[in-house]
Amino acid sequence: MTGFLSFVIVFSALIFVHELGHFLAAKLFGVRVQEFGFGYPPRIAKIGQWRGTDITINALPVGGFVNMSEDDPTAEGGLASKSVGARALVFAAGSLMNLLLAVLLFIVTFLVGAPTPVDRPGAGIYRVDPSSPAQTAGLRPGDNVVEIDDIAITDYEQATGLIRARAGQPMELLIERNTEQLPSISVTPRLDPPTGQGALGVVIGQPIDRVAYPIWEAVPMGVRTTIGAVRGMYDGIMAMIRRQLPFEVSGPVGIYRETTQRAETGLSHLIEFSAFLSLNLFLLNLLPLPALDGGRLIFVLLEWIRGGRRVPPEKEGMVHAVGMMALLLMMAVVTYFDIVRYYG
Give catalytic residues, as residue numbers.
19
- Residue 228 near residue 106 (C-beta atoms within 8 A): no
Q: How many residues does the chain have?
A: 344
